[in-house]
Amino acid sequence: MARAGTESVEHQRLKYLALAWARRRRLILGATEVRLPRSGYRADAAATTPRVLADNALTAVFECKVSRADFLRDSAPEARTAQTVKRLDRRLRELRDLIAGHRPDLRRGEELFPEFDAYDLRGVKHETHDRLTAELRQAQHKLHDGTKFGKLVRWSAASLLFLVVPRGLVSSGEVPEGWGVLEANGDELVVTVKPVLHATTTAERVALLERIAAAGNRGWQGRSYPQMPAKMALSVALGRMALSPRASSGW
């Protein structure tokens, strides 16, 4: 995802539309570029209802995608990745056996434990072997690290998780499990796939609120969509300050 300095105008516009959409639905405390708890991920936008300690409080995370490549990079299904790992592992083992069969000089000769005898291929230059090794390591990293969308669901990143996209960018069958889709229709966002409401604890909601407040404190250079000051956001969310509809319209 492009960040400040390289971010496209359309990507920035989708973030602001997401916050505007959220505010009209009681998620009035929000910010862009929010570092999410329990992960190294940074959400394009996040928002929460006031008084996060209440049982009916809601939080939301918005991921904006303006291209197919950006979407596919974060949504590769884990089952497919597992199949890829299995296929590459099998091919690599077969290739190593083939190479070793033609190069008995590579045998290390572990005489003490012959069942652990191995072939040392570290000095062998073999284009296919090197390529398969690199592909397997990449696939294993993706499998064990998980996909971004899947992780945010498992970690209860928010009550509501939304993809924010231009019209027609993704089909319903491609939407990650548990996520909803907001499609841009001019200057409005329309729900085309309903999200699943995820259970969140008070601690999880407060943690996200703190990250939203920190992001609001950093501010947005040249922003035309101001964010609520951090101290005020925390006071409102924890029920220490009332916020009138008129006041909230400024954020």
Q: How far is CA 167 from the centre of its chain?
A: 21
User: For residue 47, is pLDDT > 90?
Assistant: yes
Q: How many domains does the chain have?
A: 2
Length of the chain: 251
Q: Which helix (H) or strand (E) holds 104?
A: none
What's the confidence (pLDDT) of residue 28?
92
Q: Is residue 87 part of a domain?
A: yes
The answer to whether residues 110 and 186 belong to one domain is no
pLDDT at 230 over 70: no
Secondary structure class of 130 (helix, strand, coil): helix
The verdict on 152 and 63 lying in the same domain is: yes
Q: What is the mean pLDDT of residues 224-243?
A: 49
The span from the CA of 167 to the CA of 160, in Å, is 20
Structure confidence by residue, pLDDT tens digits, 137-167: 887 776 655 678 888 988 889 999 999 999 9
Between CA 156 and CA 150 the distance in angstroms is: 10
**Residue 2 included in any domain:** no
User: Do residues 241 and 190 share a domain?
Assistant: yes
Domain span at residue 42 reads 9-75+147-248
Residues pairing with 184 in the sheet: 166, 189
Cβ atoms within 10 Å, residue 246:
7
pLDDT at 227 over 70: no
Residue 3, domain member (yes or no): no
φ and ψ of 10, to 5 deg: -65, -40
Convert the pLDDT of each residue in 18-31 to its tens digit: 999 999 999 999 99
Choose the weakest-confidence range: 125-129, 169-173, 197-201, 209-213. 125-129
Q: In this predicted model, what pLDDT tens digit does every residue of 51-70 receive, in sequence order? A: 889 988 999 999 999 999 88
Same domain, 41 and 111: no
Indicate the residue among 108, 125, 145 that finishes a domain: 145
User: For residues 50 and 222, what is the distance between their CA atoms, to the nearest angstrom?
Assistant: 26
Bridging pattern class, strands 29-35 and 42-48: antiparallel
Weakest-pLDDT range from 43-57, 91-105, 148-162? 91-105
Residue 219 in domain = yes
CA 42 to CA 162: how far, in whole Å? 14
Average pLDDT value for residue range 162-187: 91
48 with 156, same domain: the answer is yes
Share of the chain above pLDDT 70, in %: 70
Each residue's pLDDT tens digit, 73-86:
777 666 677 788 88
What pLDDT score was predicted for residue 45? 97
Residue 248 has pLDDT above 80, yes or no: no
158 and 220 fall within a common domain: yes
Q: What is the pTM of this model?
A: 0.65
Residue 33 sits in the same domain as residue 123: no
CA–CA distance, 207 with 176 (Å, rounded to integer) = 24
199 inside domain:
yes
**Residue 213: pLDDT band with limits 50, 70, 90:** very high
Is the domain of 135 the same as that of 159? no
Shared domain check, 48 and 118: no
Mark which of 145, 170, 196 sits at the end of a domain: 145
**Same domain for 25 and 38?**
yes
C-alpha closest to that of 123 among 105, 144, 143: 105
The structure tokens listed for 3 are 């960040």
pLDDT of residue 133: 83
Q: Is residue 96 part of a domain?
A: yes
Structure confidence by residue, pLDDT tens digits, 106-122: 554 444 444 444 555 55
Asked whether residue 171 falls in the same domain as residue 133, the answer is no
The answer on pLDDT for 225 being more than 50 is no
